[in-house]
Structures are given as structure tokens and as C-alpha cells.
Structure 1
Amino acid sequence: MSLVGVALAVLVVCLTFILRLYIVLRAGAKHKPGAKGSVSVVVVAGSGGHTTEILRLVESLSGTYSPRHYVIADTDKMSEEKILTFEKSRACSGPNSQFTICRIPRSREVHQSWSSSVASTLKAMQYSLPLMFRVRPDLVLCNGPGTCVPVCAAGLLLGLLGIKKVLLVYVESICRVQTLSLTGKILYPLSDFFFVQWSSLKDRYPKSLFLGRIV
């Protein structure tokens, strides 16, 4: 095959990918998971205040959002304890408490260099892909930890391959007042619903949704 033929083939593949990505992202607003039953949800938890905030969000969800698959970094013991305590209290108030805790390698450690974080994110992606293909959730709920990126990328891939449309719902941390977090900047164009908790961010990022403080 000539170089021209190879170039045309690559161009066709790239255009097909871009078109498919556009279709998947456009379909998000019309997609209504759980219209005929329960909603399987992947909840990405992170160290620090991320887990506390995400559990407040989960607490507001009805029993329809089940099973809940929590994804945490493999070195994050504190989040695991918080999740177990939360789900134990939830089980006392209702019978529908189906959940799992899944671990993947941490995408990026605090103060880790950008060059090395690429390799660690790719490693996390290797674990996220089989996890998401196995779980096949209706929705991914996340709020900022770096672990969100490979998980959301894997969820997006399910839609690109025509396996299942996975809604990506991102809630920016209450701590972000003027600018988005790095994770937020990455997922802003890819999320189906992107919530901010300060009006100043809504002004800067028109696609975002502002409902006031929600966590």
C-alpha cells in the first residue's frame, strides 16, 4: 500500500472516531438510564475531602441507584473505611444496599511529575477498562480525584464501541471557586452533565450547570 493510501486510511479512521465521539456526547442529554428499572452506578472516590463530598451526593440518591460500584485507588485505605461505614448506615435505613468496592492503581500521586503521571494513568487505564467492561454501568459519578480520568475514559469507550451509553456526571469540588481542577478541565468537554458550585465558574464555563452548593 502506498503512503497516500495509508494516509487516507488513517484519515478515515480519525474522522470516523471523531464522528462517533460527537454522536456519543450528543446523545448524553437524551439518554435516561433507569427508565425501566434500577440504575447501575460507578462512584469514583478519592483521598482527602473527595470521598466525603461524593458520599454526600450518594446519600441523596434514591434506592433506584443500585448496585453501586465504588472505585478507589489501591493505596486509599481511608476511603474504603468511609464507604463501608456509609453503606452500613444506609443498609439500616433501607433494604437495597448492593455495593462493591473496586481498586485500581492511583493515576497520580500528590506532587508527582507530569511526565511520570502519564505512565501511571495509562497503568490505571489498564485496570479501568476490564472493570468497566465487566460492570457496564449506566452512570459514572465523580468529583475530582485523578482516578476519575481513566474510569471516565473507559466509560466513554463503551459508548464509542457501541456497547453501552454510559452517562458521565462530574461535580466539581466546592473548593474550586475561580478555576476548575485539572481533572475538571480534562473531563469538562467529555462529561454529559458537569456541575459547578460557584456562579463564577458557571460564567467561565458555559456548558456547566450551577445549582448552588450541592454537597
Structure 2
Amino acid sequence: MKVCLVGSSGGHLTHLYMLKPFWQDKDRFWMTFNKADARSKLQNEKMYGCYYPTNRSLKALIKNTILAFKVLRKEKSDVIISSGAAVAVPFFYIGKLMGCKLVYIEVFDRIDKPTMTGKMVYPIVDKFIVQWEEQKKVYPKAINLGSIF
């Protein structure tokens, strides 16, 4: 199984990194911002740099959509996992077109309102995971696996 882990740097990347017991023995690559924290955390990992800032940036969305197509075509991942943020959207939609399984993990600090990324990917994901039971009121088809922390 080949895994693509996609997320912005900072807290979203930390969320994904905390899933290490799952991904450590898998063929994998990372899609994140080419920033100091990401380079440090992923120094021994295969990482591709995404374009930023992504929030409400049409230019970054277009560039990341092209990047998603190129990288996903090259890497041929089986599953894409993300905890956000906006950078996940083009990878999920292109990945869906390429037959990838999609797993989205809603962030820990949004209990009663959806994130913009969550709303955008919820209709197409194979698994939508929440970390609070209350989040299932927002995302009825979600699976509550509890806190990643």
C-alpha cells in the first residue's frame, strides 16, 4: 500500500505525524509546505513542497491542482490521508479521479462547526474521521476514533 500524507505545515502536519504507528511501515510520501518545521520533521521522508498560502488563494489552488495531478500520477498512491487544511482539497479531488481511497481527519479543535476543508471534502471521501462524538452532529457519516493526541 502506498500512502500520500497531505497537509499544511504546523499543527496539521503534526496531526499526520502522530499517525506514525500506522504509516511507519508503509511506502509513503508527504505533500506539505516547504517550510522549516516541515523540513525538520520530515528530514528522512520523501516530501514534495506545496504552494502557499492556500486559504482563499485561487493562484495557490491552481498551482496545487497541477502539482497534485503530476505527483499523484508519478507516485501512484493507493490512499491519501489528510487532516487539512486547504492544500488537501486539490489532492483529494484529483486523487478521487485517479482511483485513490481518501481518508480525512477533522481537526481536534473544531467540535461543533465544520472546517471549510472538511465541508469541501466530506462528499467525496471514503472515510471521514472525527475526534469528538459531538462532531458527528456536523458530519453524520463520520467515524469517531477519538483523539489522536
- Cα distance in structure 1, aligned partners of 2:128 and 2:77: 18
Structure 1 consecutive aligned stretches of length 4 or more whose deviation exceeds 3 Å = none
Unaligned runs of at least 5 residues, structure 1: 1-38, 88-98, 160-165
Select the residue among 27, 41, 54 that pairs with 1:108. 54
Is 1:136 the counterpart of 2:76? The answer is: yes
Are residues 151 and 175 of structure 1, via their aligned partners in 2, closer, same or farther at CA, if it must alter by over 3 Å? same
TM-score, normalising length from structure 1? 0.64
- Cα distance in structure 2, aligned partners of 1:122 and 1:139: 22
- Counterpart code for 2:21: S
Q: Which residue of 2 aligns with 1:71?
A: 31
Is 1:147 the counterpart of 2:108? The answer is: no
Sequence identity, in percent? 28
Select the residue among 119, 123, 129 that pairs with 2:59. 119
The answer to whether the 8 Å contact 1:173/1:197 transfers is yes
The answer to whether the 8 Å contact 2:104/2:129 transfers is yes
- Cα distance in structure 1, aligned partners of 2:92 and 2:53: 12
Which runs of structure 2 are paired with 1:19-168 in the superposition (5 Å)? 39-57=1-19, 59-61=20-22, 63-65=24-26, 67-74=27-34, 76-84=35-43, 87=44, 99-106=45-52, 108-109=54-55, 114=56, 117-159=57-99, 166-168=100-102
- Counterpart code for 1:61: F
1:65-98 C-alpha deviation (Å, 9 max, x unpaired): 2x21101124x231121122xx5xxxxxxxxxxx
Q: CA deviation at 1:100?
A: 1.1
Larger radius of gyration: 1
Higher share in strand: 2
- Cα distance in structure 1, aligned partners of 2:4 and 2:12: 15
1:167-193 C-alpha deviation (Å, 9 max, x unpaired): 100011111111121111101111100
Higher share in helix: 1
Select the residue among 106, 110, 126 that pairs with 1:192. 126
Q: CA deviation at 1:120?
A: 2.1
1:19-52 C-alpha deviation (Å, 9 max, x unpaired): xxxxxxxxxxxxxxxxxxxx10000132221111
1:114-141 C-alpha deviation (Å, 9 max, x unpaired): 4xx2232012111110110111101101
- Cα distance in structure 1, aligned partners of 2:89 and 2:117: 7
Give the SS at the match of 1:143.
strand
